[in-house]
Amino acid sequence: MNAIATPAKLHDCRDAFVAVLERLGAENPNVVAVCNDSVGSSKLGGFKSKFPERLVNVGIAEQNMVGVGAGLANGGLLPFVCGASCFLTGRSLEQVKADIAYSNANVKLVGISSGMAYGELGPTHHSIEDFAWTRVLPNLPVIAPCDSIETAAAVEWAANYPGPVFLRLSRVGVPDLLPAGHVFQMGKANLLRDGDAVTLIANGTLTHRMMKAAEILATEGIQARVLNMATVRPIDVEAVVAAVRDTGAILTAEEHSVFGGLGSAIAEVVVAEAPAPMKILGVPGIFAPTGSAEFLLDEFGMAPSAVAEAAKSLLARKSGRA
Amino acid sequence: MTNCIIMHTRNSMQPNDLERIARQIRLRDLQAVYEAGAGHIGGEMSATDILTALYFKVLRVWPEQPKHPERDRFVLSKGHVALALYVTLAKRGFIPEEEIHTFLKPHSRLNGHPNCNKVPGVETNTGPLGHGLPVAVGMALAAKLRGATYHTYVLTGDGEMQEGSNWEAISSAAQFGLNNLTLIIDHNRFQQGAALKDTNDLAPFASKLVAFGWDVTEINGNEMAEIVPALEKRTARPHCIVAHTNKGHGISFMQDRVDWHHRVPNAEQYQIALAELSETL
């Protein structure tokens, strides 16, 4: 397992999303895509050319987009509602709450370009609050795949899951980490690398950075466990408890505010079930400055080398406590 | 058995029959508000005739099969008048009539705004305003895409039309050519705190809807002989019925009084209201 090398080729997970969506569209006439003038940014051009009548573009009107999605589901269709995650979740949060989650509508919400994918466009276009906003809503699984393989598997799973889902995707290139043929399981973390010194947990664009950090730590004789935890809700309690039991410390990283996201969800488990030293990496509660997503992740201490340093300081806390 | 009779005789319902049912619904609504000590009685009274016409004459629905794929859809966007919907659904056989006694009680499925996962006949959860119309647009669009023949109706308040999401939906309904969608605006001229005209006066509605590409019919929304044909009317474009109604209709001292948006009658007022509604039964 530790022999997995980090491949260099980077993939835009939107491609994996639309490839599965187009296949689902061919297999199931009830599959529809709904968007907010985002045919291009959601990469729905292929779906549109294959199934023009099933591409519902409501224009720049996100509240209507989410409501229409709920209505389409009520009418027996299987809608994938796609839009930039900042607008899909922020602008239409009450629709997501009332029309989708509370109504338990079988709608798949697909947040594109989440996190700081629109880095240079500024904080209005960053979506570093979406885990926090969505994971407090009952009935709504929140999922951020780490690579194109998991993205494809999660879209396939979502289509068959009988209820609402929020898929949080990025446009920032990431290497494939999971094995071909991977089957997505909601609420189940994937063990990418095992170790006993500390557990590194991430999802989305941060998982591969965690793998690189683990490689750095290994050169110093520190064996880190790496968990990919795409599902932010429901959180994998078992994997978190096992991480504390086996490694005694947890370091998380996410392309999201440090408040209310993956790290917070894990911290809730740690506090209640298995107290242990823990640190949460993410955007430190500020509106981010100008820069690309990759630049900003480095800026906020999530370069692999910085993650490795954070892990080591956590180890010091762990041993200080022991 | 009563429900079966109602079902089979639905299409032969005359305005007099419907008016009688509407008065019974008003009476039960009043009793429930008094019992529960809460409700939105003004808007419930203004909307009752429309709800009655829908459920006892117009809608193609089957209470024993509330999820039948070909059922007509009705969305109560002004979800705060849930009690009027509950009483109507009970009278139509979707839920037991005796359950109205549980309105707002702990763990009752009949809370202040309708829940589609608990109450048969409710299509989507409403409460925050400006939600029902976008969802109804999706329902009507689904029928177009699937070749289904059901019709979608949605009832909004007039104050509710101040929510921008409604205008997003109105615009898209025209764009999608949804001639299988009917929006009914319960134009009782009062919102929670004041008259519409003193707050954010969108009236007149008709010209605005026409400008957005809808066909519009204006009616007296408390007059059954006008309500039924308007609901049954089919148009080339999405159809809006501007239903001119009276807040508190049927109870003299509540009529057109903004303070009866969600006030509860005291014992003396209750007896007067009971007498007024009962004498016309």
pLDDT tens digits along A190-233: 999 999 999 999 999 999 999 999 999 999 999 999 999 999 99
Give the position of tokens 């976008």.
B134
Identical fold, A10-175 and A190-321 = yes
Q: Report pLDDT for B262.
A: 87
Burial class of residue A138 in the structure, from the number of CB atoms within 10 Å of its CB (0-12 exposed, 13-18 middle, 19+ buried)? exposed
Contacts of B111 in chain A (CB under 8 A): none
> CB count, 10 Å around CB of B168?
24
Please count the structural domains in chain B. Answer: 1
Q: What band does A5 get if pLDDT is binned at 50, 70 and 90?
A: low
Which residue of B73, B145, B176 is in closest CB contact with A74? B73
Count how many residues are written for chain B. 281
**CA separation, residue A31 to residues A28, A72, A150, A239, B191 (Å):** 6, 10, 20, 34, 40
For chain A, domain boundaries = 10-175, 190-321
For the CA atoms of B51, B55, B57, B61, the dihedral, rounded to the nearest 10 degrees, stands at: 150
The DSSP call for residue B190 is: B
The DSSP call for residue B112 is: S
Q: Are A246 and A204 in contact (CB under 8 A)?
A: no
Q: Report pLDDT for B9.
A: 54
Record the tokens describing residue A215, joined without a space: 């490689």
Confidence (pTM): 0.95
Q: Which CATH superfamily is domain A10-175 in?
A: Thiamin diphosphate (ThDP)-binding fold, Pyr/PP domains (3.40.50.970)
B116 close contact with A: CB closer than 8 A: yes
Phi first, then psi, for residue A320 (nearest 5°) are -65, -35
B156 close contact with A: CB closer than 8 A: no
Record the tokens describing residue A134, joined without a space: 């969505």
First and final CA of chain B: distance in angstroms? Answer: 22
The tens digit of pLDDT for each residue in A168-186 reads 999 999 999 999 999 999 9
Which residue of B125, B130, B169 is in closest CB contact with A103? B125
Record the tokens describing residue A76, joined without a space: 């027996």
Instruction: Give the CATH architecture of domain A190-321.
Output: 3-Layer(aba) Sandwich (3.40)
Q: Report pLDDT for B4.
A: 43
Distance from B114 to chain A by nearest Cα, in Å?
10
Question: CA-to-CA distance for B230 and B46, rounded, in angstroms?
Answer: 17
The tens digit of pLDDT for each residue in A190-202 reads 999 999 999 999 9
Contact B145 A104 (CB under 8 A): no
Q: How far is CA B197 from the centre of its chain?
A: 22
Give mean pLDDT, residues A127-150: 98
Give mean pLDDT, residues B166-173: 98
Give mean pLDDT, residues B226-234: 98
Q: Are A169 and A153 in contact (CB under 8 A)?
A: no
Strands B73-76 and B152-157: parallel
Residue B116's closest chain A neighbor by CA? A103
A–B interface: beta-carbon pairs under 8 A? 112
Distance from B214 to chain A by nearest Cα, in Å?
17
Record the tokens describing residue B55, joined without a space: 């459920």
> CB count, 10 Å around CB of B37?
8
Give the position of tokens 């993205």.
A151
Question: CA-to-CA distance for A268 and B134, rounded, in angstroms?
Answer: 36
Q: What is the CATH number of the domain that holds B147?
A: 3.40.50.970
Distance from A65 to chain B by nearest Cα, in Å?
8
Q: Give the 3-state secondary structure of chain A.
A: CCCCCCCCCEECHHHHHHHHHHHHHHHCCCEEEEECCCCCCCCCHHHHHHCHHHEEECCCCHHHHHHHHHHHHHCCCEEEEEEEHHHHHHHCHHHHHHHHHHCCCCCEEEEECCECCCHHHCCCCCECCHHHHHHCCCCCCEECCCCHHHHHHHHHHHHHCCCCEEEECCCCCEECCCCCCCCCCCCCCEEEECCCCEEEEECHHHHHHHHHHHHHHHHCCCCEEEEECCEEECCCHHHHHHHHHHHCCEEEEEEEECCCCHHHHHHHHHHHHCCCCEEEEEECCCCCCCCCHHHHHHHCCCCHHHHHHHHHHHHHHHHHHC
Contacts of B125 in chain A (CB under 8 A): 98-99, 102-103
Q: Report pLDDT for A7.
A: 54
Q: Starting from the edge strand earliest in sequence, which strands make up the sheet with B152-157, in order?
A: B73-76, B152-157, B181-187, B239-244, B215-220
Residue A4, pLDDT > 70, answer: no
What residues form DSSP beta bridges with A247? Answer: none
Residue B148's closest chain A neighbor by CA? A75
Query: Which of B76, B124, B163 to mutate to probe the A interface, most A CBs <10 Å?
Result: B124
Q: What is the CA radius of gyration of chain A?
A: 19
Q: Are B188 and B203 in contact (CB under 8 A)?
A: no
The residue among A42, A74, A76 whose CA lies nearest residue A57 is A42
Contacts of B176 in chain A (CB under 8 A): 56
Complex ipTM: 0.95
Element (H, E) at A320: helix A304-321
The tens digit of pLDDT for each residue in B96-149 reads 999 999 999 999 999 999 999 999 999 999 999 999 999 999 999 999 999 999
The tens digit of pLDDT for each residue in B1-33 reads 344 444 445 678 888 999 999 999 999 999 999
**CA separation, residue A169 to residues A79, A139, A147, A166, A255 (Å):** 17, 20, 9, 10, 11
Contacts of A54 in chain B (CB under 8 A): 145
In terms of residue numbers, what domain contains B238?
Answer: 2-7+15-279
The tens digit of pLDDT for each residue in A38-59 reads 999 999 999 999 999 999 999 9
The residue among B233, B270, B275 whose CA lies nearest residue B41 is B270
The residue among B124, B200, B122 whose CA lies nearest residue B160 is B200
Residue B88, pLDDT > 90, answer: yes
Q: Which residues does B211 contact at the CB level (< 8 Å), separation at least 6?
A: none
Contact B126 A94 (CB under 8 A): no
Give the position of tokens 């599902």.
A231
Contacts of B164 in chain A (CB under 8 A): 63
DSSP B106-136: TT-S--SS--TTTSTT--S---STT-HHHHH
